[in-house]
A and B are shown apart, each in its own frame.
Chain A
Amino acid sequence: MIDTLFSGLIHGSAYALVAVGMSLIFGVTNVANFAQGSIVAVGIMVAWWLGSSLGWGILPTVLVVIVVTGLLGLLMNTAVIAPLEGRKPIAALLATIGIGQILDNGLQLIFGPQTRPFPKLLPTYNLQLFDVRFGTSDVVMVLLTALLMLALWAFLKYGKTGQAIRATSQDPEAARQMGIPVKSIRNISFVIGSVLAGISGIFVGLFNANINPMNGGSIGMTAFVAATIGGLGSIPGAVVGGLVLGVVESLGISWLGDGAHDLITFGALLIILIIKPQGLLGPKTDVKSEPLTGTFLGGGRPITLPWWGNAALAALLLATPFFFSDYLAGVGTQVAIYAIAAVGLTLISGSAGQTILGMAGPLAAGAYASAILTTQLHWPFLAALPAAGIVAAIAASILTFPVWKLSGHYVAIATIGVGAVMVAIIRLWEPLTKGSLGIQGIPFPTIFGQVLYTQQMQYLLDIVVLLLALLVVMRIRSSHLGRVFEAVGSDQEAAQALSVRSSAYKSLAYALAAFFTGLAGALLAHQYTYIDPTIFTSSASVLILTIIVLGGMNSPLGAVLGSIILIGGPELLRIVPDARIIVYGLLLVLIILFRPQGLFARKG
């Protein structure tokens, strides 16, 4: 018991170190930096190269890592984040996702894909306590975390620059009028945050011992969870959050096994958010600016087409299956399915202004519902399809129910947890879902006795469902209900004052979105004929959100356009196979830079 606890504390201090950097950036720039984990990975890989290939010691390695990650932070802010200033923070968030992809794949291209041992820059297993060995590296890591926490606190509290950073984060306009060079202050914040990430990379490398250039994503996600548990924006909170998460994981996994790892991590996140939304050490007052929420409503309005334009587009779309080749139709199925998954999000994230980051959950629920109904209960496909949507909507609503009493960006973060927990439940509910084994032999869709066995037939089905989804979503948007959603999204307080129960309407909009995503999941299952939990990852959630942001948060047609680019893009880019995913990330960043209001929206 005590040994499990102790090893959890050590692991927790590795989380804490990364979470401190995450929390700092979030606190002072209001940007949820999804590339932070990738910068940690840059630190890991640079240190690996210096330590093992060149045989450098710890001190010169630390210095070089500081320089490299510092420059990277500066570059990132000046080239991408700063130009997006004044836009809603979600544009910056998505740009960081693109940057993360460029960094991850760039590292893999430079250093090669294999997992490798991290050089022992400090002794790693030379000490022992409670039957668990640990090293000088762990001791230094714990001391460093404490030291950095104190230093940052003192810097932000008493340092002139630190005070300027805080002033800028509270009100950039006022800060500018007081003569604070806001631009350079932002640069400094990003450099500090990146350097922290780089240094923590060295210690995460020492702790994990086996490292891989693609580790950044999961490191970043766990650190984000730790920072949220502690209280986003609070530096001591990040440390406490990291330690708590380390211990909770350790005890939980020891009890339930590591198969329940995700359930424990994200379950802990959800429980904390429900009991104490601002985190363990977060500020008592709720954050007024809502960094992860907000739409492009202020910045852009959807481009709308006259009815005949819509009709012509619909007819054109319906015609495509008849002359597309197998390959085009195959790509088309994926584009259409992800467009269906994303189109409902325009209601909740676009109109009602609530960013949702966990749509992999409803996608999985729909896929599994339809797969189980058709293979075990022998339902016809046409009955299973709407049932899948309903199951997804109900499951998502129940799990998200306690979350709506939260406000602002906490809901967005909570939905990350809900998505992950839904998939974790599917993995553990073996009697029904066959868990990790997956469900094989899901039949192709059958419509009135006709088995849809070609790409074109399935593509036609996907198009029909997509058009129905677009029709319903557009109707809702122009109805009274749609106006209420928009009222909630534009000004929640004003809507409340008019006795609109905003959380009830958000919940309804979310259920509608989950319904369509569930349909998309069912279509996927019947096309792949095999599903297992590894298909529904958090990157699927991010992808679905990115689709509507790219197209224009408010624009159902934009969801189609976004899907064409994000799903079709990697296929088009097959002409540059080596750099395919890097170019894809670059494109994403460029589009956000030059059309931050979304492709299918005009500036307001």
Chain B
Amino acid sequence: MTNLKRHLRSGAALIVAAGTVFGASACGLGGDSSASSSASGSDTVNIGVIYPKTGQYAEYGKLFEEGFNLAIEKVNADGGVQGKKLGLKYFDTQSDAKQDAAVAPKLVADKSIIAVVGDYASPASSAASPIFQQAGLVHYGFNNSAPTFTDTGDHVWTPQIGQDKYQQANADIVAKKAKKISVVYIENDWGKQAYEYFKEAAAKNGTEIVYQSSYLADSTDLSPILIPARDAKPDAVVDIGYGPDGALVLNTLRDKLGYTGQYFGGQETKEFLDLAGDNANGTIITGSFSATGTKDAKAKEFVKDFKAKYGNNPGNFEVTAYQAIIDLAHAANSTDATRKGIQKALKTVTDFPLYQGNGGTFKFNQSTRRADNIDPILLIVKDGKFEQYEG
């Protein structure tokens, strides 16, 4: 008897389950974008931000946030986009690929989002790109300079200066100061590619690389590679990396190994200057922005506003974040404040406001979807501050 009951019950369960499958299959596997309608008539459109608010990259997330928030104030003070208010929707990903992949559809489903900016690191950004590409939503990877970043599709863009151009400038200034150099670089997708370009340019310039090694981002003692780097008796040591590791290389060389020669490396951030202290003086880096050296009128105004709001000068991360929002607002105002409008603008508009380099405007190279005419600039540390350097 109980057996029969059980079978009846299980049969019923199966039927219900099967019913659910077929009933639901009407909705299909096509995804939200194919089913739902376009943006509603709300008076706010948003830019979605995927970024590391927490986790190991949280420092950069904080710098981005400062740039974004200032830019949004500016855009709305100037009348918003096409009469609508522009807003930001923040999504913390810790710059972790699996969280990027998980959250990306949420941005796609939110019809008020007309473009996406971020993430900090390329692997995380790239895990989200296919989802935005599929949905026809522009993914503006303003911090992703990896050479293959835009390969995912025609909706993936970055205004970052290509590393080929950047490292050419870097190698040129190195060649002016040194014949023999030791080079260390960070072991990740960015560092590896940047070093390849640097090596090529250095060879062309006739600069001899007498020692080279990569290092892992979380290494805390770099003496094993910096001792041979010093003992190779180079005219200069070049580091291709970020701020904290750049400071570690520099401090190890100066404090621990007694190296006194020229140093190229580090990052245009307050963090780097704090960490390196007096050692930083005389350090030359190839950058894209100088808060004190910029001659561009709108960039000067940006520096002034930034300082008024946050109490310090903006660095490279803050300016690229700021510019990303300004550029997307410019795109929306040139066409439509919609997903399609942004994509169309990136393809056709040729005068995006440029705050980096020498200022002015820039346009996109339509085959690489990268910024075409941004020039790197040189910076030198004097009295604990970055100044523009003419070489």
Contacts and interface: CB of A to CB of B under 8 A. Distances in A.
B21 A318 contact: yes
17 contacts: A11-B221, A117-B277, A133-B255, A218-B218, A250-B223, A253-B225, A258-B224, A312-B10, A312-B14, A322-B25, A330-B104, A437-B193, A454-B30, A567-B102, A577-B53, A577-B92, A581-B54
A395 interface: no
Contact of A456 (B29, B56, B193): B29
A530 B123 contact: yes
Contacts of A209: 248, 251, 255
Nearest to B254: A125
B97 A259 contact: no
B17 to A, nearest CB: 3
A532 B90 contact: no
A379 to B, nearest CB: 20
A459 to B, nearest CB: 9
Contacts of B292: none
B105 A326 contact: yes
Contact of A306 (B10, B184, B228): B10
A71 interface: no
Given A311-B17, A571-B102, A574-B92, A319 B24 contact: yes
Interface in B298-316: none
Contacts of A323: 24, 27
A446 interface: no
B148 A319 contact: no
A480 B329 CA distance: 66
B233 to A, nearest CB: 13
B62 interface: yes
A602 interface: no
B225 A257 contact: yes
Nearest to B152: A529
A595 interface: no
A261 B188 contact: no
A210 B191 CA distance: 21
A113 B244 CA distance: 12
A111 B383 CA distance: 27
A210 B247 CA distance: 8
A257 B126 contact: no
Nearest to A257: B213
A289 interface: no
Contacts of A249: 221, 224
Contacts of B152: 440-441, 529-530
Contacts of A534: 121, 123, 188
Interface stretch (A2-10, A141-149, A182-190, A274-282): A2-10
Mostly helix, strand, loop or mixed at chain B's interface? helix
A155 interface: no
Contacts of B58: 108, 113
Among B61, B98, B225, max chain A CB count under 10 A is at B98
B227 A254 contact: yes
A212 interface: yes
A132 B223 contact: yes
Contacts of B32: 325-326
B189 A258 contact: no
A128 B256 CA distance: 9
Interface in B151-169: 151-152
A114 interface: yes
Among B9, B61, B109, B126, max chain A CB count under 10 A is at B126
Nearest to A539: B96
Interface in A118-164: 124-125, 128, 131-134
Interface in B227-242: 227-228
Contacts of B9: 308
Mostly helix, strand, loop or mixed at chain A's interface? helix
Interface stretch (B70-78, B129-137, B200-208, B357-365): B129-137
B286 to A, nearest CB: 21
A363 to B, nearest CB: 11
Nearest to B220: A208
Contacts of A531: 123
Interface in B66-124: 90-92, 94, 97-99, 101-106, 108-109, 121-123
Interface in A510-542: 524, 527-532, 534-535
Among A330, A331, A427, A441, max chain B CB count under 10 A is at A330
Nearest to A438: B189
Nearest to B31: A454
Contacts of B103: 327, 330, 571
Contact of B20 (A4, A210, A316): A316
Contacts of B90: 577
Query: Which bracket fits the contact residues of B?
Result: 35 or more
Given A254-B227, A308-B14, A437 B192 contact: yes
A268 B26 CA distance: 57
Interface in A192-220: 207-210, 212, 214-215, 218
A210 B256 CA distance: 14
Among B53, B61, B218, max chain A CB count under 10 A is at B218
B108 A319 contact: no
B55 interface: yes
A116 B109 CA distance: 40
Nearest to A582: B54
A417 to B, nearest CB: 17
Query: Which bracket fits the contact residues of A?
Result: 35 or more
A258 B97 contact: no
A594 interface: no
A120 to B, nearest CB: 10
Contacts of B94: 581
A66 to B, nearest CB: 24
B209 interface: no
A250 B244 contact: no
Nearest to A115: B244
B187 interface: yes
A7 B223 contact: yes
A113 B224 contact: no
A214 B224 CA distance: 24
A333 B165 CA distance: 39
A321 interface: yes
Given A4-B227, A125-B255, A454-B29, A325 B109 contact: yes
A504 interface: no
B214 interface: yes
B28 interface: yes
Contacts of A532: 122-123, 188-189
Closest 6 CB pairs of A and B: A308-B10, A315-B17, A113-B58, A330-B105, A326-B105, A530-B126
A474 interface: no
B92 A124 contact: no
Nearest to B100: A528
B193 to A, nearest CB: 6
B17 A319 contact: yes
A49 interface: no
Contacts of B131: 330, 455
Given A133-B258, A308-B9, A322-B29, A105 B223 contact: no
B271 interface: yes
B9 to A, nearest CB: 7
Nearest to B128: A528
Given A113-B59, A311-B10, A460-B29, A535 B97 contact: yes
Given A7-B227, A209-B251, A580-B54, A315 B21 contact: yes
B297 interface: no
Contacts of B248: 209-210
A115 B55 contact: no
A185 to B, nearest CB: 35
B94 to A, nearest CB: 8
A261 B214 CA distance: 10
A574 B90 CA distance: 10
B255 A529 contact: no
A312 B13 contact: yes
Contacts of A440: 126, 148, 151-152
A579 to B, nearest CB: 9
Interface string A474-507: 0000000000000000000000000000000000
